[in-house]
Structure 1
Amino acid sequence: MFLKRSMKKKILVKNMVCNRCITFLEQEFKKVGLVVVSITLGEIVFLEKEGVDEAFIESLLSKNGFELVKEVGMMVNEQVKIACIEAIDNLEAATEENLSAYLSKKLKKDYSVLSKMFSKQEGITIERYYINLKIEKVKELIQLQRLNFSEIAYSLNYKSSSHLAAQFKSVTGMSMSEYKNLQQWDRKSLDQIV
């Protein structure tokens, strides 16, 4: 008797932007009997299962707000987004070099190639996307009320709190103080930032 050996399948997933997404998708895959070998932001490796095809996986992801990444350009853009999110979450690692050098090194691609692909598909530059991510992080930190504006600026590697204040106002149309005093905070989820 021969045992059929399961093959590993690797997929890239769009809108997978936080640890909760990882936990949620791991649970969803297990619910349908798929064995997850590894799971990180934007990537799932699982053992193939008879009767589970790409359409099934695509349906499982889309009903939960995720998307299967199929095109090469889309894959690269998701990797750029994930690397930017990781850079903000781990600023100490990313501060040793500028964003372009960090992304080139992390993704092992020339930054000009990454930049062109990203801008073409997303309609925004990588730099603008990164700034938008940082501003959403600032909003989060303001809401937590643990740090003052200067500490927030320092924690996100701004040269000064006035630089952060100017950038915040440019992106949101209001000052950080005005935002802090709002009754309803206007925040975007990371998968909605572009």
Structure 2
Amino acid sequence: MKILVKNMVCERCKTILKQELEASGMSINAIELGEIDIQAARGTDMQTIENIITKNGFEMVKDNTDLLVENIKAQLLQLANEPKNIALSSFLSNKFHKDYSVLSKVFSKHQGITIEKYFINIKIEKVKELIQLGRLNFSEIAYQLNYKNSSHLAQQFKAITGMSMSTYKDLKNWNRKPLDQIL
């Protein structure tokens, strides 16, 4: 049976749920961001599965709107990690075979933030990670995240965090948000 899960944003999320569910006697056929295909053991009920999911900080998706929003989030996370220079609206419209305005309205109503702002927040958290790693300079970070130039990135970073990238780098007290808490 396929179960849809909110707030699965990384490989570690998948690993934790897989371990917990298998420890309860369930067999995992497949696990992807936002989706688990479970072969439950005899006598296992949905409440047991839901308890395991919520105990680990996740939530089961129960309606089509939740499903669409979680799928949009998963696609945005994937896009932020790929060096593609593609318009966000085109990317999502092609992925979901729906007009971008429909996707945008549903997402904004459900999350209280636009898709664009959510995507910028994801990218800013990615910038924080790359600054923390210290392997790339600011221009290389901007290039990797498909910004037109480093000054555009610097402006967005300051608008979101309230500080320059240099100040953030010098702080060494990095206050990064978990990806499932970006809003």
Instruction: Kindly report which structure 2 residues correspond to 1:21-170, keeping only aligned pairs within 5 A, or say none.
Output: 21-92=13-84, 95=85, 97-170=86-159
1:185 alignment partner in structure 2: 174
Shift of 1:106: 1.6
Q: TM-score, normalised by structure 1?
A: 0.91
One-letter code of the match for 2:8?
A: M
For 2:25, what is the secondary structure of its paired residue?
coil
Question: How many residue pairs get matched?
Answer: 183
**Structure 1: how far apart are the matches of 2:70 and 2:60?**
11
Shift of 1:109: 2.5
- Listed as ranges, the gaps of 5+ residues in structure 1 are 1-8
Deviation track 1:106-125 (CA, whole Å, cap 9, x = no partner) reads 22322221111110010000
Cα-Cα RMSD:
1.0
Larger radius of gyration: 1
Shift of 1:65: 0.6
The worse-fitting range, judged by mean Cα deviation, of 124-133 and 183-192 is 183-192
- Listed as ranges, the gaps of 5+ residues in structure 2 are none
Deviating above 3 A after TM superposition, structure 1's stretches of 4 or more consecutive aligned residues are: none
**Structure 1: how far apart are the matches of 2:111 and 2:163?**
25
Shift of 1:52: 1.9
Shift of 1:138: 0.2
Shift of 1:17: 0.3
Q: TM-score, normalised by structure 2?
A: 0.96
